[in-house]
Amino acid sequence: MRTYTKPKAPKGEPQQFVEIAAYADPGACVLWPYAQAGDGADAGTGYGKLTYAGRQTYSHIVACTLRHGEKPTDDHEAEHLCPNKLCCNGSHMAWALHAPNCQRRTEHGTQLIGEKHNMVKLTEANVRYIRKSKHSGRFLADFFGISPATVSLIRSRKLWRHIV
Ligand SMILES: [Zn+2]
């Protein structure tokens, strides 16, 4: 007797992509190759979008949630630690708190740090991430393209003192 098993509906490719990207190695950005925000209410935000768990959402938010857990409070937003809005490498994402009445600046406060060979731009989110991170100084130095000495200066608050 022949049986016919209906093939399981394959999970959408974008959904699989974001689940893998969420746990990607921190070494490189994983750029979203699918639909992007650009029409309707979210025009111009430039984030990857998809339907995930039945909801219309953005790829970086899904990646942040998968990697770091549900957002801690409604005031938290998934923030890129890297400069690529389309990146959905979960390790390049963090939940960041934005004061509700404080209008979000289009550009994060940035400060140039002189490095031996080039100038590296860190955002406030990068600095908070470096202070919170349990990764080694060496790892963070490689990840952000700065020296281990700079990482320890940031951690001991000799640099970027004004950032909590
Ligand atoms: Zn990235």
Residues 6+ apart with CB under 8 A from 32: 17, 18, 21, 47, 48, 59, 60, 86, 87, 88
Query: Is the separation of the CB atoms in 123 and 109 below 8 Å?
Result: yes
pLDDT given for residue 99 in this prediction: 47
Cα of 144 from ligand 1 centre, angstroms: 11
Cα of 163 from ligand 1 centre, angstroms: 22
Q: Which two tokens stand for residue 156?
A: 């001991």
pLDDT given for residue 85 in this prediction: 87
Q: What is the mean pLDDT of residues 1-19?
A: 71
Q: Which residue has the higher pLDDT, 37 or 7?
A: 37
Residue 18 banded pLDDT, cuts 50, 70, 90: very high
- Nearest by Cα to 89 from 107, 72, 67: 67
Residue 8 banded pLDDT, cuts 50, 70, 90: low
- Partners of 51 in the β-ladder: 56
Place of tokens 């909801």: 55
Cα of 146 from ligand 1 centre, angstroms: 16
What residues are neighbours of ligand 1 (ion), with CB under 5 Å?
29, 82, 84, 87, 89, 92
Residues 6+ apart with CB under 8 A from 62: 18, 22, 50, 52, 88
Cα of 145 from ligand 1 centre, angstroms: 13
pLDDT given for residue 73 in this prediction: 86
Cα of 87 from ligand 1 centre, angstroms: 5
pLDDT given for residue 121 in this prediction: 66
Cα of 20 from ligand 1 centre, angstroms: 14
